[in-house]
């Protein structure tokens, strides 16, 4: 008999025989020698014993045991378990399309069953501002709203809103009960149309731009040569950081085209005054200033991998590797920097199954081959983002994320040598009802790994949709008009 548990425990020793789950007594013990998230479960005819060092380890043991007990007939065994990575994250984009607090809680509940311990909440972007702040109420009045609901639909229905501080505190409290830290992301200096649409004076040109109604990369970003921008960011981040009681804060840093900076007198003056070589180093300077401010508030900083392009980013910044084509993240980790693996072509959950089949997600190895043995520990974890440009409702979001979120959950907890895709698929069958009980409907099994014809069609469509003239221009020539 096997254990229908996800993520798969790292060490299981079977005694032989079974125990009827209707006749189970459970005893809890403490062992200081265990890791903070580790636990031991002993299932014998005399009963079940759970041993842990902390309440967190006990919580994870209970999650494992609850899955085992659902089997009815429980194998007599000993489980010795702890996670492969300390950081096990999931990200929800609540900007492009929002989720209700209750929907977010359902997603969190499912993630907690999978032993995720970090919720990365994407709360600002070009298409809206999603968090209440008292220091700049104009962001909720203007930046939180765009002219249409669906991307590119021009449907004439204004779309927007934001989460109040009380709603955010409610989500944080819900996560705390499940040992999940909540990390806010306020993206900067790029993906800031919601900010510069509200405060045009914070951009290089000072011209009005509308909150975006489509996805993409946009040239009007925060002016890194304007001291008023730094003052604005410090006030904004100070208030937001106080709301989130955890160590990490995500400051974005991705997809920041710099053509406006190239032609901006203030940015060029800043480059010369600080002895910087170019606009890439200006972003490094900007990022370091923001990081230093947040670090003075007791926060550790996370940013996307483009942050490394300047060559001067603070080594204390943890890097989210979503698309590193030049090996900068490998070099960063080999020099002691911390990295979180969330490769877009394997762990982005909003790609259709023809582009990213379940097997592709499951079989991805998050630790780089070119790392030295000593520096493999600098890949501190995995994260699975879901971006919602084309996901307008929660049911669609669940269809896209489940079961692939389970695959990333297993990657975060189960050591690579213990993983097996065929075993994982069999265990998934037992997980459908518990997800349904939470309010989440998983994609049907026949859709997880499409055949060659479907995959070819979906990959071609994905490439075609992404190759808009503006996207090509900004991607190939980010520093030119």
Q: Which of 97, 120, 122, 191 is catalytic?
A: 191
For 447, which DSSP code? Answer: G
| Cα–Cα distance measured from residue 135 to residue 198, given in angstroms and rounded to the nearest whole number | 13
pLDDT digit string (tens) for 396-448?
999 999 999 999 999 999 999 999 999 999 999 888 999 999 999 999 999 99
Model pLDDT, residue 71: 81
Q: Which residues contact 469 (CB under 8 A, 6 or more apart)?
A: none
Model pLDDT, residue 466: 66
Model pLDDT, residue 152: 67
Residue tagged 């200081």 (tokens): 32
Mean pLDDT taken over the chain: 94
Residue 464 reports pLDDT greater than 70: no
Residue 251 reports pLDDT greater than 90: yes
Residue 348: in which H helix or E strand, if any?
none
pLDDT digit string (tens) for 1-54?
678 999 999 999 999 998 876 767 899 999 999 999 999 999 998 889 999 999
CB-CB contact of 190 with 229 (8 Å): no
Establish whether 369 is a catalytic residue: no
Q: Which of 82, 125, 306, 342 is catalytic?
A: 125
Cis peptide before 7 (omega within 30 of 0): yes
The partner residues of 160 in beta bridges, in order of sequence, read 145
Q: Which of 103, 255, 389, 458 is catalytic?
A: 255
The partner residues of 108 in beta bridges, in order of sequence, read none
pLDDT digit string (tens) for 152-161?
667 778 999 9
Across 28-65, b (16+ Cβ under 10 Å) vs e yields eeeeeebeebbbbbbbeeeebbbbbbbebbbbbbbbbb
High-pLDDT (> 70) share of the chain, %: 95
Model pLDDT, residue 70: 87
Report which of 411, 322, 394 is spatially closest to residue 360, judged by C-alpha positions. 411
Residue 8: in which H helix or E strand, if any?
none
Establish whether 392 is a catalytic residue: no
Establish whether 125 is a catalytic residue: yes
């Amino acid at each position: 008999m096997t254990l229908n548990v996800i993520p798969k425990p790292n060490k299981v020793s079977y005694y032989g025989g079974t125990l009827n789950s209707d006749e189970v007594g459970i005893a809890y013990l403490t062992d200081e020698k265990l890791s903070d998230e580790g636990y031991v479960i002993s299932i014998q005819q005399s009963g079940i014993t759970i041993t842990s060092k902390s309440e967190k380890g006990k919580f994870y043991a209970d999650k494992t045991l609850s899955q085992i007990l659902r089997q009815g007939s429980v194998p007599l065994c000993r489980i010795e378990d702890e996670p492969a990575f300390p950081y096990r994250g999931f990200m929800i984009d609540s900007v492009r399309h929002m989720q209700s607090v209750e929907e977010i809680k359902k997603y969190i509940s499912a993630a907690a069953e999978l032993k995720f311990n970090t919720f990365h909440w994407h709360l600002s972007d070009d298409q809206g501002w999603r968090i209440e702040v008292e220091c700049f109420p104009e962001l909720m009045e203007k930046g939180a709203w765009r002219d249409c609901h669906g991307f590119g639909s021009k449907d004439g229905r204004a779309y927007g809103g934001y989460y109040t501080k009380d709603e955010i505190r409610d989500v944080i409290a819900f996560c705390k009960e499940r040992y999940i830290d909540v990390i806010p992301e306020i993206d900067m200096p790029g993906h800031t149309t919601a900010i510069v649409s509200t405060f045009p004076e914070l951009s290089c040109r000072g011209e009005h731009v509308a909150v975006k109604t489509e996805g993409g990369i946009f040239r009007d970003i925060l002016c890194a040569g304007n001291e008023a921008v730094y003052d604005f960011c410090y006030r904004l981040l100070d208030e937001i950081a106080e709301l989130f009681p955890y160590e990490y804060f995500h400051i974005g840093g991705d997809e920041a085209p710099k053509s406006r900076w190239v032609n901006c007198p203030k940015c060029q003056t800043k480059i010369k005054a600080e002895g910087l070589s170019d606009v890439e180093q200006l972003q490094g300077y900007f990022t370091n200033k923001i990081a230093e401010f947040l670090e003075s508030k007791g926060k550790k900083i996370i940013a996307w991998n483009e942050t490394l392009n300047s060559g001067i980013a603070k080594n204390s910044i943890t890097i989210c590797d979503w698309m590193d084509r030049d090996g900068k993240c490998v070099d960063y980790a080999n020099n002691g920097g911390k990295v979180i693996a969330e490769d877009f072509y394997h762990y982005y959950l909003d790609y259709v199954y023809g582009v990213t089949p379940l097997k592709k997600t499951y079989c991805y190895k998050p630790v780089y081959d070119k790392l030295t043995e000593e520096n493999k520990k600098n890949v501190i974890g995995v994260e699975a983002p879901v971006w919602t440009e084309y996901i307008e409702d929660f049911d669609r979001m669940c269809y896209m994320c489940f079961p692939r979120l389970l695959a990333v959950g297993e990657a975060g907890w189960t050591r690579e040598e213990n993983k097996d895709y065929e075993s994982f698929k069999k265990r998934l069958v037992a997980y459908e009802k518990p997800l349904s009980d939470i309010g989440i409907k998983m994609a049907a099994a026949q859709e997880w790994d499409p055949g060659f014809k479907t995959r070819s069609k979906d990959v071609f469509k994905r490439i075609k949709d992404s190759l808009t003239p503006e996207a090509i221009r900004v991607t190939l020539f980010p520093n030119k008009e």
